[in-house]
Chains A and B, each alone.
Chain A
Amino acid sequence: MRILIVEDETKTGNYLRQGLGEAGFLADLARDGLDGMHLAITGDYDLLILDVMLPGLDGWQILQTVRHAGKAMPVLFLTARDQVEDRVKGLELGADDYLVKPFAFAELLARVRTLLRRGQTREPDSLRVADLEMDLIKRRVTRGGQRIDLTAKEFALLELLLRHTGEVLPRALISSQVWDMNFDSDTNVIEVAVRRLRAKIDEPFGHKLIRTVRGMGYVLDDPAQTP
């Protein structure tokens, strides 16, 4: 998967390229609007990450030109401005997602993966990691063949973790996806919810599937398979 990052701030650009590269993507970096636009049109990218404020051309202009050139790859905007108008403008111009600086890298990664996955995979009937299996049709969870009773929210949380197996999910993303709470909260609600889920799906069993990544969020993976 090739990603083009257009970002003029040196440090931000560097860590984005490094972070995305280490997450398994081929990431290119353009440091101004004109280079960015040129690369976006001539290169073959699966995703664009555009800063709004850029020297030369700004993010909106790049987006318009790219769409005009018939490129339909998803576009994720980064901006320091958190005004509603910006959000509306970006989405009207055909941006696919929007992230306000400063953002957590885990959050960016999760959104990048969601954008790249969009419309690609067939909706599965069940999800499975190690001996944990979730039947999406019967809405049933088993581990090692043993039925586990979950509340609706616990089920939704586990489903989110399973769908993003191996990805670190930030707390903000979890509260937004599972509870539809789209604001910064300084509560420990997610910690408690994850703790309860663990008590049901991890604690009674041999190896733990849900891990806490300090300062970032939570990840569900099969420890036997992680290198």
Chain B
Amino acid sequence: MMHRSIALRFAITAFAGTALILAGLGVYLSRSVETHFAELDRAELTGALNHLAYMAQSGGTPDMATLLEQVRTMNMGHGALLVRIESRDGKILADTLGFSPPALRYDASRSTLVSATADGRNYRLLTAPFEAGRGRVLRAWVAMNIDHHQTFMSLFRNALWTAIGIALLLSLALSALAARWGLAPLDRLRMLLREVSGAHLAVRLDPADLPRELAGLAAEFNQMLARLDDAFRRLSQFSSDIAHELRTPVGNLMVETEVALGKARSIEEYQEVLYSNLEELRRLTAMIADMLFLARADNKLVTPNRERIDLQRTVADLCQWFEASAEEHRLHLIQAGTAGIEGDRMMVQRALSNLLANAIRHATPGSDIHIGIEHTGAAEVTLSVSNAGAAISPEHLPRLFDRFYQADPSRTRKGEGSGLGLAITRSIVEAHGGNVTVSSADGTTEFRMRFPTGATSG
């Protein structure tokens, strides 16, 4: 389907409709006028024939010439009627017609109306048999010139079609106008949307300003703008966060190196500087790798392998991996449930590892961390990690998965990971077609990762 202009489509549809109706009307009108004339003519010719029959019967055996004369003068002002009287075998007994009527298979008992043209003139003829005394049956033709009808009809038709043509042109213009007028709100919408730009995403359309048909569209636009606004804000927040996160270690590296080079030092001192730089660089490298992973996930470039993952085993492996670390905080890792999903084992490990690291970091020392595996739907498995600890206030919850987001801005991140762990967890879960949520109440914080059990989504 071509993307023609809506106004053009409206106009064409309206025009075609009007044209069809007007043409139908024109045809109907000229038909009925014509029929009306034919009826009039038939009445007149029938009258003449009846008169002829009557005269023939009542007047004994009339002279044909008298008959002719009587009928001829019956005419009601449209010029003389023409008459031909034939015997049954076709012999012409009297004739003012002067031409042969069209040959037709006429019904001997009924009168039939026909048209004929002779010498460039148009006639309408009616024929019927009649009794002419002494049982003799004759056939009479009565004809009248209908040129004046034809002339009228052609004038009438001309006038009619001209009027229809003008009406059509008018309707075309009107429908074009109507279309343009009807679509004017779209133009307004366009002008409003033109104001939208990266720096100006706060524009909202007022549905009350727009016709009913566009109000829904405007609402959708508003929601889209809100989502874009949010995404854009997060993105620019992310950019500034990156700059900030990178600035600190790079600044440290620079100052440290400058100071080290400020005077001659012992080998041990140089080594110390290099070691310290190495640690800083390692952190930077890890952060860059994480950011790359997230960027690729954002661009849907992270494609998980599809393999069967035994979650019970995966969780057990991770618990073993975190065991020592948990014990340092006097924490117990308790796992329950079993299920299998299809996905990327390494990525799922990583996602869960980030949640576990987070739980160990924030759990109240001496408490238990529960890792649950459960079927939460026909084709859904939920992996949950819950720990006891200070509740996270509700306004922070949805943003916990944002990059570099910290519920407590005053806390330093030193030694606590890159601040990208939960964002990576979310990217991984979403790359698997699942979702991750967090809730915090009554001193328990719980993260829930929901995975579809079947194939991973792309």
Contact = CB atoms under 8 A, between A and B. Distances in A.
B349 interface: yes
A188 B325 contact: yes
A206 to B, nearest CB: 24
Contacts of A192: 324-325, 328
Interface string A99-120: 0001010000000000000000
A211 B362 CA distance: 30
A215 B350 contact: no
A183 B278 contact: no
Given A102-B285, A153-B320, A215-B282, A183 B349 contact: yes
Interface in B283-316: 285-286, 289-290, 292, 303, 305
* 5 closest Cβ pairs, A-B complex: A215-B278, A186-B417, A214-B275, A183-B350, A192-B324
Contacts of A126: none
B282 A104 contact: yes
Greatest chain B CB density within 10 A among A175, A182, A185 is at: A185
A92 interface: no
A78 to B, nearest CB: 15
B279 interface: yes
Interface in A59-88: 82, 84
Given A84-B305, A187-B353, A214 B278 contact: yes
Interface string A155-186: 00000000000000000000100011111111
Interface of A: 82, 84, 102, 104, 153, 175, 179-189, 192-193, 196, 214-216
B432 to A, nearest CB: 15
B321 interface: yes
Nearest to B322: A189
B97 interface: no
B303 A84 contact: yes
A215 B280 CA distance: 8
20 contacts: A84-B305, A102-B285, A104-B285, A179-B321, A181-B317, A181-B321, A181-B349, A182-B346, A184-B286, A185-B350, A185-B353, A186-B286, A187-B322, A187-B325, A188-B325, A189-B325, A192-B325, A214-B279, A215-B276, A216-B278
Question: Secondary structure at chain A's binding surface: helix, strand, loop or mixed?
Answer: loop
Contacts of B275: 214-215
Contacts of B415: 188
Chain B, interface size: which category? Answer: 20 to 34
B438 interface: no
A64 B296 CA distance: 30
B19 interface: no
B278 A186 contact: no
B222 interface: no
A188 B328 CA distance: 11
Nearest to A180: B317
Given A186-B421, A187-B353, A192-B324, 18 more contacts: A84-B303, A84-B305, A104-B282, A180-B317, A181-B317, A183-B347, A183-B349, A184-B290, A185-B353, A186-B286, A186-B418, A187-B357, A188-B325, A188-B415, A189-B321, A189-B325, A193-B324, A215-B278
Nearest to A175: B321
B286 A215 contact: no
Interface string B318-346: 10111011001000000000000000001
Nearest to B282: A215
Interface string B266-281: 0000000001101101
Contact of A179 (B276, B303, B320): B320
A183 B421 CA distance: 12
A25 B228 CA distance: 56
B43 to A, nearest CB: 95
Greatest chain B CB density within 10 A among A183, A186, A189 is at: A186
Nearest to B278: A215
Contacts of A84: 303, 305
Interface in B342-380: 346-347, 349-350, 353, 357, 360
Nearest to B328: A192
B352 to A, nearest CB: 11
A216 B305 CA distance: 30
Given A189-B325, A192-B324, A196-B324, A179 B317 contact: yes
Contacts of B418: 186
Given A84-B305, A181-B353, A183-B349, A215 B325 contact: no
B419 to A, nearest CB: 9
Nearest to B318: A181
